[in-house]
Amino acid sequence: MARLSGRTAIVTGGAKGIGRHYSLALAAEGARVMIADISDGTELAQEIAAKHGANSVTSAIADVSDESSVKSLVAAAMERFGRIDVLVNNAALFAPLQETKCTEIDADLWDKVMAVNLRGPFLITQAVLPIIIKQKSGSIINVSSSIGRGAYANFIAYATSKWGLEGFTQTLAAELRSSHIRVNSVEPGYVATKLTGFHGSKPDSVTDVFVYLASDEAKGITGKMLSSSGWKSQIK
């Protein structure tokens, strides 16, 4: 039996870039996937449906920084699949960003980065939590970044947002520890996709940790920050 058979996953930013590969990997392990993105995920949904069946996937255009959009997304996932088991908070504003000094960054751009990269995970997590708490099971996986853990000059908005996401992960994990809800983050590193100009690791090398955290194999694992490189040694 597939490791995620009978489970439903929402993948934000799941239509393009590395998010596309997360969607494909979860579906390949039996999960029914809601692809949520500001880009149209219909083509990817059709690809997954062709491999795994029409009831294996759906897609929705959604802006994670907009509360009404998030609520509509979660309602659509429940209407289609009847449950939510896994939330992958992958949507983020990064690829269009240019190296910019703190003294030169536009305040509106700062706010936009925070809206997508921090407000977004908060809003959709808040919308999903009542569902998975009632189910007494669930896995929330936040996509972090090496830029959020190191001193990368001139990426202060993005780095700050990812540092904030780590704090969000740790605090929420502590809050939900007695609710059988797992909250972890993954640092995928720089992955080769069209959005990153095909530089970095192959996407297949980073999806295993997402499948693991979504599955029963990760039962009891919460509050962890796992790097996709050597992640198995980090859970001991």
- Look at residues 123, 16, 4, 7 and name the one whose alpha carbon lies nearest to residue 63: 123
Going by C-beta distance under 8 Å and a sequence separation of 6 or more, which residues neighbour residue 60? 34, 35, 36, 41, 72, 73, 76, 77
212 is a catalytic site residue: no
Going by the DSSP 8-state scheme, the letter that residue 168 receives in this structure is H
| Largest Cα span, the chain | 55
Q: Rounded to an integer, what distance in angstroms lies between the CA atom of residue 82 and that of residue 117? A: 27
- Look at residues 120, 171, 157, 131 and name the one whose alpha carbon lies nearest to residue 11: 120
State the catalytic residue, choosing from 152, 158, 190, 212.
Answer: 158
Tokens of 130: 């009542």
Q: Rounded to an integer, what distance in angstroms lies between the CA atom of residue 83 and that of residue 211? A: 18
Q: Rounded to an integer, what distance in angstroms lies between the CA atom of residue 130 and that of residue 128? A: 6
Inter-CA distances, 19 with 7, 131, 192, 195, Å? 18, 23, 12, 11
Question: Which residues are known catalytic residues?
Answer: 158
